[in-house]
């Protein structure tokens, strides 16, 4: 205790305390206490303003970051809600797509009660913008064999050209060398639908072996004839898009656009069984 009373810290503290008590008293006795207070206030007022400004700035700074954190949390919540809504929309679209596909499948099944179908999904494709070859997820283990017809509710796609254990390849109507016996639904005129390399780029094929006086018009629907073909009778092939006379012969050059959209197929049906058509 004695050491503390003799320390410099204690001495300075006592001196400052005495000054703070004695000086104001002396100034009051001299009648200039008001002047002292005014002087002190004048000196301290700017400092008080600065202190107040700094305090307000700190409060504003803290408020800014508090608001920023709130906005970040709100944005994160909105982002999660958007992701959830997108998932719901995607799920709804997939459900609608599947329902439409099943509806079309049932319509085709009702129209061709003698057909047995196997559903197939597209796993790969090749060709131009309009596909000429599809790879499917059905193969020998699913009962698929070569030369089985492949269709959608809109019409013929093509036929199975290769078969693996759990995969197969389908050649479309656009592929050069592909051929289908066909007739004009309106008039019964007979011909053959054939793929053509140059026409495949435009997504169309050709109906050959029609005489110059054949009864055929743009817009006529072309149907499979079923004569000695891999395709059963009565399937939609497509519609006539253009008719020209062959300058080198007497036949017509008839361009047919397939009913099935060969540019964006994801699912199709393989006809595994059907009754062979014979003319009576």
Per-residue pLDDT tens over the stretch 141-167: 999 999 999 998 889 999 999 999 999
Phi, psi of 172 (to 5 degrees): -90, 175
CA 183 and chain centroid, separation: 39
Over residues 62-114, the pLDDT tens digits come to 565 566 677 777 777 777 777 766 766 655 555 556 556 555 666 777 777 78
Q: Which residue has the tokens 């050709």?
A: 206
Return the structure tokens found at 73.
């949390």
Query: Residue-wise over 120-147: b if at least 16 C-beta within 10 A, else e?
Result: bebeebebeebbbbbbbebbeebebeee
pTM of the entire predicted model? 0.63
CA distance 112 to 4: 113
Over residues 23-73, the pLDDT tens digits come to 555 555 655 545 555 555 555 455 555 556 555 555 555 565 566 677 777
């Amino acid at each position: 205790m004695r050491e503390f009373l003799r320390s410099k810290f204690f001495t300075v503290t006592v001196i400052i305390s005495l000054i703070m008590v004695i000086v104001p008293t002396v100034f009051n006795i001299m009648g200039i206490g008001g002047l002292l207070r005014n002087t002190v206030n004048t000196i301290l007022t700017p400092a008080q303003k600065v202190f107040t400004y700094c305090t307000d700035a700190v409060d504003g700074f803290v408020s800014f970051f508090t608001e920023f954190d709130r906005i970040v949390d709100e944005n994160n919540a909105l982002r999660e809600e958007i992701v959830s809504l997108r998932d719901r929309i995607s799920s709804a679209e997939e459900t609608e797509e599947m329902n439409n596909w099943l509806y079309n499948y049932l319509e085709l099944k009702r129209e061709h009660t003698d057909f047995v179908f196997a559903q197939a999904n597209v796993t790969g494709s090749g060709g131009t913008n309009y596909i000429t070859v599809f790879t499917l997820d059905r193969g020998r283990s699913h009962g698929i064999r070569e030369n089985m017809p492949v269709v959608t509710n809109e019409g013929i796609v093509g036929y199975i050209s290769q078969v693996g254990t759990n995969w197969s390849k389908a050649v479309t109507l656009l592929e050069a060398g592909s051929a289908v016996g066909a007739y004009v639904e309106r008039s019964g005129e007979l011909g053959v639908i054939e793929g053509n390399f140059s026409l495949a780029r435009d997504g169309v094929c050709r109906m050959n072996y029609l005489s110059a006086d054949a009864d055929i018009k743009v817009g006529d629907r072309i149907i499979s004839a079923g004569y000695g073909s891999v395709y059963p009778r009565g399937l939609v092939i497509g519609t006539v898009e253009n008719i020209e006379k062959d300058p080198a012969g007497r036949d017509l050059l008839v361009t047919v656009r397939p009913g099935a959209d060969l540019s964006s197929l994801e699912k199709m049906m393989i006809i595994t069984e059907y009754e062979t058509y014979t003319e009576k």
